A and B are shown apart, each in its own frame.
Chain A
Amino acid sequence: MSTHEARTGVSARRAGQRTALWLLIRPSRADASEIVLPVIAIAVITAVSIAVSTLANAFWFAPDPSGFGQYQILAVAMLAVMVVPVSTLGSSAARLSARRREDRLATLRLMGATPRWVRKVALVEAGLLALAGVLLGAALALPITPALALVPVAGNTLGIDRAILPPALVVVLASCVVLVALISAVASLKQVMISPLGVRMRQSAPRMHWLRLVIAALVVAGAVLVLQLTSASWGTVGITLALVLVIVSVMAVLNILGPFLVGRSAQRRLRRSDNAASLIAARTVLESPQAAWRQVSGVALASFIAVPAGSVLGFLDMVQNVSDAVTPEQIQFFGDIRTVVVAALAVSYLLVACSVGVTQAAAVMERRALYVSLDRLGMSQPVMHRSRRMAISIPLLVAAVVPAVIAAVLVIPVVGVSAVTAPLFLLTVIGCIVLGMLLVQLGVIATFPVLRRVLAAPERAL
């Protein structure tokens, strides 16, 4: 074969691969929800990230009378709390788009495609979906701007000027979101073995060694100690690092404890279940407590922070009303902390609700055969819906209540004083948590049409 013929052959193959790539990634009406949901999820991530970054940016540059960067610490704390729900939603979106790919990627492997080419298909598709989501998210962020302009920061409302993030920062944020989507796509590919004979999830049975519980307790104790020792003398960098360390270690502990407690809670529900819906819900959770926990883990950190923060704010509110020892600047700072706590709670639950919606849509599609089977058996759709809502409420209750209780125990004196002197603050926090849980349930309800569609076309599952 001449060099010319070889080159022609290579270029023809590449052109063929490009055509094949397009055939594989082009959207079709049949899998609209597999495309629309990840795009919406990424759009929500982008819009929320822009809003939170705008607030964090405003706090970072706020005039700071204290002199040790208290507003900068607040800005960092705000961004840190957002990391978990944002990454949870990101991985849910990636998982859903991975589900769309799995079957066809297995077929490609059967036809002789290399693993490298398969990865390329996955990455191009994830990248395109992320790009569409980011553009939609940036557009969604625009109508939020007037509302953001009304948020009080350091004594003044943000104003329309400061409510708009510098374009360079928006581009950096958008690039980060696309990058996270690509990394999640690669990670989700690693979780599945795409062989020519099909796709198998790599799952290992959940295990919990008692030693992990001891380590978790030690880490929480260490975190409390760090918080106790932190003082103004550590400086902005020191305090910020301590704060990030505490948040990261508490999150790590919650991620160890969470699946274990979710599993225990599901087992208890299983023993007590006296109807079909709760039996299936408990078994669904027990199938993978980690996966159940992952869906709602974004709520855990918000709950962990909300109770002590709410108590401290209530206590300080009482102090400022009865004492002259609190300066106007301090009162203003307390107000700003309240803004951050409320924003963190609202955004966490919003992101988790989206994440649950996306994950549930993926779960319905992944388990088409199960739902078709239940339908054949005669299980009505309301019972299936109830079962799915119960399956979320088990991990959600653990994620919302357990961290809040742990936090309350850790700072029991403050919570106790606040409960007596300013119960309204504590009740507001609890109300926020309950509202958030309802919001998450709405995320499940939003996926009811997906199940209806699956049952309307049962032959796809068989």
Chain B
Amino acid sequence: MRYDQHPVAPSQQNHVPRLSVAGLQVRYGEAVALNGLSLAVQDGESVAIMGPSGSGKTTLLHALAGIIRPDDGTVALRTLDGQGRSQIVRVDELSDAARSDLRLREFGFVFQQGMLIPELTAMENVMMPLLLTGVTKSEANSRAGQLLQELGMTGLEQRRIGQLSGGQAQRVAIARARATQAQVVFADEPTGALDSRTAADVLALLLRSTSEQGRALVMVTHDKDVAAACSRVVRLRDGQIVKQIPDSQAD
């Protein structure tokens, strides 16, 4: 799929954020979910988004990931074109089909319930994004097996999602997010349904699979301990950023 692209000069590549939003406005009828919000996420960063219910956390995540299109403002992603040159893609200007394709190739998702496909086995769930990008079955099988093995899921590959524990299912979701080498991974309360020990394991794996490998992680969480493990915490209220820790990284 071809996107409208804006080339990035090689000298500027290190300064251009991986993902950024500016003046973001999202409304649901009369209610304003995001009110002129701006944020930039760099490679290797892990950003925790916190805030009370209704503050716009999930809406921000959905807008960043191209799941919804904002009413106003821009969402820009730095990615590579077919020749390996940096380009900026305006996510907010893409059609539904183009945003689907972008999610498939550039983004990974780890949500509270994993958003895994219950009918499929753990192996097939990880294979799914690879098959969708046109990778052959045998290649997808081998890469998915490798990823599951790295995440300690050896012997559980043929189990359905319902036959796995919450922590195991999240490991499958992390493996799936890694399968396409996604440069940005979105997580929505990834440890919300887990006990504290499993939550710590899953969080460590998630950070190891993303920011520690130079990928960006954007995570919505209510858990202060989870947020503390991230390199930046962004607090929202009424659709606006009210605080960032550390402040120096404010956009």
Contacts and interface: CB of A to CB of B under 8 A. Distances in A.
B151 to A, nearest CB: 18
B22 interface: no
B132 interface: yes
Given A274-B136, A383-B132, A378 B105 contact: yes
Interface residues of B, number: 28
A201 to B, nearest CB: 13
Contacts of A381: 96-97, 100
23 contacts: A275-B131, A275-B137, A276-B132, A279-B131, A280-B117, A283-B117, A283-B119, A283-B124, A286-B119, A287-B119, A370-B119, A373-B116, A375-B100, A376-B65, A376-B67, A377-B103, A377-B109, A377-B115, A377-B129, A378-B102, A378-B104, A380-B100, A381-B96
Nearest to A382: B97
A286 B97 CA distance: 29
B124 A376 contact: no
Interface string B126-158: 011101100011000000000000000000000
B52 interface: no
B120 A379 contact: no
Interface string A382-426: 010000000000000000000000000000000000000000000
B93 interface: no
A379 B129 CA distance: 8
Given A369-B115, A373-B117, A378-B132, 16 more contacts: A274-B131, A274-B137, A276-B132, A279-B128, A280-B120, A283-B119, A287-B119, A372-B115, A376-B109, A377-B109, A377-B115, A378-B107, A378-B129, A379-B100, A379-B132, A381-B96
Interface string B59-97: 000000101000000000000000000000000000011
A189 B126 CA distance: 36
Contacts of B105: 378
Interface in A251-302: 273-276, 279-280, 283-284, 286-287
B101 interface: yes
Which 10 A/B pairs are nearest by Cβ-Cβ distance?
A: A378-B104, A378-B103, A283-B119, A276-B131, A373-B115, A274-B137, A276-B132, A380-B100, A378-B100, A287-B119
B118 interface: yes
Interface of B is mostly: helix
A283 B120 contact: yes
A296 B129 CA distance: 31
A375 B124 CA distance: 16
Contacts of A275: 131, 137
Nearest to B124: A279
Nearest to A276: B131
Contact of B104 (A280, A286, A379): A379
Interface in A330-379: 369-370, 372-379
A377 B104 contact: yes
B44 to A, nearest CB: 23
A155 interface: no
Interface of B: 65, 67, 96-97, 100-105, 107, 109, 111, 115-120, 124, 127-129, 131-132, 136-137, 176
Contacts of B111: 376
A274 B128 CA distance: 11
The interface centre, meaning the residue of A286, A378, A380 with most chain B CB atoms within 10 A of its CB, is: A378
Interface residues of A, number: 24
A134 B117 CA distance: 39
A276 B119 contact: no
A196 to B, nearest CB: 21
Given A273-B137, A458-B67, A377 B120 contact: no
B101 A370 contact: no
The interface centre, meaning the residue of B67, B100, B101, B136 with most chain A CB atoms within 10 A of its CB, is: B100
Contacts of A375: 67, 100
Nearest to A273: B137
B69 to A, nearest CB: 11
Contacts of B129: 377-378
Contacts of A273: 137
Nearest to B105: A378
The interface centre, meaning the residue of B101, B105, B120, B127 with most chain A CB atoms within 10 A of its CB, is: B120
A261 B124 CA distance: 23
A374 B97 CA distance: 13
A380 B134 CA distance: 13
Contacts of A380: 97, 100-101
Given A279-B131, A377-B103, A370 B118 contact: yes
Contacts of A283: 117, 119-120, 124
Nearest to A285: B119
Interface in A107-132: none
Nearest to B104: A378
B244 to A, nearest CB: 27
The interface centre, meaning the residue of B103, B116, B127, B132 with most chain A CB atoms within 10 A of its CB, is: B132
B119 A374 contact: no
Nearest to A283: B119
A375 B68 CA distance: 12
Contact of A280 (B96, B102, B109, B119): B119
Contacts of B101: 378, 380
B128 A377 contact: yes
Nearest to B131: A276
A449 B101 CA distance: 21
The interface centre, meaning the residue of A274, A284, A376 with most chain B CB atoms within 10 A of its CB, is: A376
B170 to A, nearest CB: 14
The interface centre, meaning the residue of A273, A284, A370, A458 with most chain B CB atoms within 10 A of its CB, is: A370
Contacts of B119: 280, 283-284, 286-287, 370
A287 B127 CA distance: 19
Contact of A376 (B115, B127, B132, B136): B115
A274 B65 CA distance: 28
A61 to B, nearest CB: 52
Nearest to B138: A274
A296 to B, nearest CB: 19
